[in-house]
Amino acid sequence: MEQIPKSFLALFLMILFLVVGVGVITVALDAAAAQRYTADATAMIEQYNFSDAAIATCKETAKEKGYNLSVLVMDCNNDGVRDMAELKTTYTYSMQLLLIDRQSHVIRSYAR
């Protein structure tokens, strides 16, 4: 008779660990997708030499994917030519079971 409560407890703990594990993996996949998008946007802005059209396209794509992209273009040596851009991709994630709701994270990248 004492095996029944132990079995139910073991089953409950296994299901709990499974659900938490799936949640953690989902959050990790969301973070990886945001990092991949930031790298792609950085490469595109570098490829098009910091053009306003490329930056606008990247911002539209970010909005479609649920991210917020801000781009700060800089002229490092004051010669009138854009040399560098700082990209900040903000994304949110949630894990309901662990009471983590809409946490915001920022990924930074630099285009040169």
Share of the chain above pLDDT 90, in %: 66
pLDDT at 1 over 80: no
Q: What does the alpha-carbon distance between residue 41 and residue 51 come to, in Å, rounded to a whole number? A: 12
Q: Is the pLDDT of residue 46 over 90?
A: yes
Mean pLDDT (the chain) is 91
Domain that holds residue 11: 3-111
pLDDT of res. 62: 97
Identify the pLDDT of residue 53: 96
Q: Which of 57, 59, 82 is nearest to 70 (CA)?
A: 59
Taking the mean position of all CA atoms in its chain, how far away is CA 94? 12
What is the domain count for the chain?
1
Residue pLDDT, tens place only, 87-103: 999 999 877 777 777 78
pLDDT at 91: 94
Interval 3-10 mean pLDDT: 91
Three-state secondary structure readout of the chain: CCHHHHHHHHHHHHHHHHHHHHHHHHHHHHHHHHHHHHHHHHHHHHHCCCCHHHHHHHHHHHHHHCCEEEEEEECCCCCCCCCEEEEEEEEEEEEHHHCEEEEEEEEEEEEC
pLDDT at 93: 84
| Residue 58 vs residue 23, higher pLDDT | 58
- Joined together, the tokens standing for residue 25 give 């993996």
